[in-house]
Amino acid sequence: MSTIVTKDSLFSRPALIGIILCGLVLAALPIMNLLFPYGHTLHISSYTVGLVGKFMCYAMAALALDLVWGYTGILSLGHGVFFALGGYMHGMYLMRAIGKDGVYQSHLPDFMVFLNWSEYPWYWWMTDHFWFAMLLVVLVPGTLAFVFGYFAFRSRIKGVYFSIITQAMTFAFMLLFFRNDTGFGGNNGFTDFKRILGYSITAPETKAVLYLVTLAALLGALFLCRAIVTSKLGRVLQGVRDSESRLMFIGYNPLWFKLFVWTLSAVLCGIAGALYVPQVGIINPSEMSPANSIEMVIWTAVGGRGSLIGPIIGAFSVNGLKSWFTAAFPDLWLYALGLIFILVTLFMPQGILGVVQKLKKRAKEGDAA
């Protein structure tokens, strides 16, 4: 693991071409959905487009997790909270965009009418502006991560302890958001969105645009992470992962490096959540359950952590498997997921990418011999 990551080793030329090709294929899906009518051989169903759109959001979250876990050695069991918070912040705008088309035809969201509230709580201020909600998508998960991380890293909490308290954090947030009085719709969360920036949220064209934006964000995040990981900063981060005390003896203060990457990861995760909500049409507190956050970790682990592209592969393969399993054998999915957890940790510590690399190496050795 201690080999130095350079621009070449992260995405060699063929890998880079592969990524761009995959991006193009993914980008073609919604266009084929729109261009070709239903029944045409080249038609891609809206269901597939929605599913892939969802997976891309998951992939972005897994990528964000890889940045902290794979490259900095900080295992977060609470990234679900950043994902959900990003979603909730965007959800606030979407709820206000419903206008008076709700069940109660009030300017307030239905759940507030139901609670007999007569006006928006203060933290809904300005959320009727799209740009402000987008600002919140970045600021809220970022601030939470910064504050939480500052205290945790300052007192040098690491390893398992950090994982456990991040889990406690997401658990606490889940409890908080389950309350009706918190002002985020309690159990049901936000749903029944009608429009975004004036366009109907259910229209195929809007969905296609959201999909393409998500794809762009995913690719952008991928190359941002690559830039960070291959920079000098990235080397310090890997120093934190491999031997934090040695790094400190050399004279670095790991606090700010860890804090930077941790906050950035939370922000990326929040953006993924914000892109997820309009595509799926619902956000509720169960997204913050500890189980969801651990599932994110397994996406990263399955694909191969510390490789940036691995988590994306992992998110697609695990979720693809999940969609197939829950349709074909709903009772067996948890067994399968459990087995994935066990087998990956026992036999594939570097994930799918690790296996591929090992096979390649063996083939090369075979050639040499």
Partner 1 sequence: MTRFSRIFSQAWLVALLCLSAVSAHAAIDRALLEPLGGDDPDARVEAVGLIAALANDDARKVLDALNRETLYVTPAGDVLVVGDSDAWNPATDETIAIPDDAEDISVNNRLRGVLQGALSGMRLFSDDRTERVAAARSMLRNADPAQLPLVDKAIAKEDDPQVMALLHQVRAIANLASENAEERKQALIALRETTDASLMATFKQMAEKAADGSYAEPDAGVRAEAAKTMAALQSHLRVTDFAGKVFYGLSLGSVLLLAALGLAITFGLMGIINMAHGEMLMIGAYTTYVCQLIFRNYFPDAIDAYLVVALPAAFIVTAAVGIVIERLVIRWLYGRPLETLLCTWGISLMLMQTVRSIFGAQNVEVSNPSWMSGGFTVLGSLSLSWNRIVIIIFSLLVVLAVWLILNKTRLGLFVRAVTQNRRMADCVGVSTGRVDMMTFGLGCGIAGLGGVALSQLGNVGPDLGQAYIVDSFMVVVLGGVGQLAGTVIAAFGLGEVNKFLEPVAGAVLAKIAILVVIIIFIQKRPQGLFALKGRSVE
Q: Does 176 bind partner 1 (CB under 8 A)?
A: yes
Single out the segment in contact with partner 1 by CB under 8 A; choices: 60-68, 115-123, 162-170, 227-235: 162-170
Q: In angstroms, what is the C-alpha Rg of the chain?
A: 21
Nearer to partner 1, 73 or 234 (CB): 73
Is 45 or 345 the residue whose CB approaches partner 1 more closely? 345
Residue 290 binds to partner 1 (criterion: CB under 8 A):
yes
Tell me how far, at minimum, the Cβ of 235 lies from partner 1, in Å.
Answer: 22
164 binds partner 1 (CB under 8 A): yes
Where is 219: in which H helix or E strand?
helix 204-230
Stretch that binds partner 1, among 113-121, 130-138, 164-172, 229-237 (CB under 8 A): 164-172
Query: Is the Cβ–Cβ distance between 82 and 144 less than 8 Å?
Result: yes
User: Cα dihedral sign for 153, 157, 159, 161?
Assistant: negative
CB of 345 to partner 1, least distance (A): 4
Nearer to partner 1, 96 or 305 (CB): 305
Q: Which lies closer to partner 1 via its Cβ, residue 220 or residue 349?
A: 349
Q: Are 29 and 50 in contact (CB under 8 A)?
A: no
Contact 272/54 with Cβ under 8 angstroms?
Answer: no
Residues 67-126 that bind partner 1 (CB under 8 A): 75, 77
355 binds partner 1 (CB under 8 A): no
Q: Of 45, 187, 335, 362, which one interacts with partner 1 (CB under 8 A)? A: 335
Cα gap 149→136, rounded to integer Å: 19
CB of 159 to partner 1, least distance (A): 6
- Residues in contact with partner 1, total (CB under 8 A)? 43
Q: Does 334 bind partner 1 (CB under 8 A)?
A: yes
Q: What are phi and psi of 327, to 5 degrees?
A: -85, -45
Residue 342 as a binder of partner 1 (CB under 8 A): the answer is: yes
The piece of 12-20, 110-118, 257-265, 289-297 that touches partner 1 (CB under 8 A) is 289-297
Q: Could you give the CA distance from residue 226 to residue 57 in angstroms, rounded to a whole number? A: 18
144 touches partner 1 by CB under 8 A: no
Q: Which H or E run contains 282?
A: strand 282-283
Q: Is 298 in the site for partner 1 (CB under 8 A)?
A: yes
SS3 label, residue 158: coil
Q: Which of 43, 107, 156, 195 binds partner 1 (CB under 8 A)?
A: 156
Helices (H), strands (E): how many in the chain?
A: 14, 4
Q: Say if residues 157 and 165 touch (Cβ distance below 8 Å).
A: yes
Query: Are 352 and 314 a contacting pair, CB within 8 Å?
Result: yes
Q: What's the CA angle centered on 352, arms 347 and 358, to 5 degrees? A: 75
Task: Decide if 102 contacts 192 (C-beta within 8 A).
Answer: yes
Asked if residues 79 and 61 have their Cβ atoms less than 8 Å apart, the reply is yes
Work out how close the CB of 164 gets to partner 1 at its nearest, in angstroms, rounded to a whole number: 5
* Candidate list 42, 197, 339, 359; residue touching partner 1; CB under 8 A: 339
Nearer to partner 1, 61 or 297 (CB): 297
Bridge partner residues of 199 (DSSP): 196
- What CA dihedral angle connects 331, 332, 335 and 341, to 10 degrees? -120
Residue 154 lies near partner 1 (rule: CB under 8 A) = yes
Site residues (vs partner 1, CB under 8 A): 75, 77, 148, 151-152, 154-157, 159-161, 163-165, 167-169, 171-172, 175-176, 178-179, 290-291, 294, 297-298, 301, 331, 334-335, 337-342, 344-346, 349
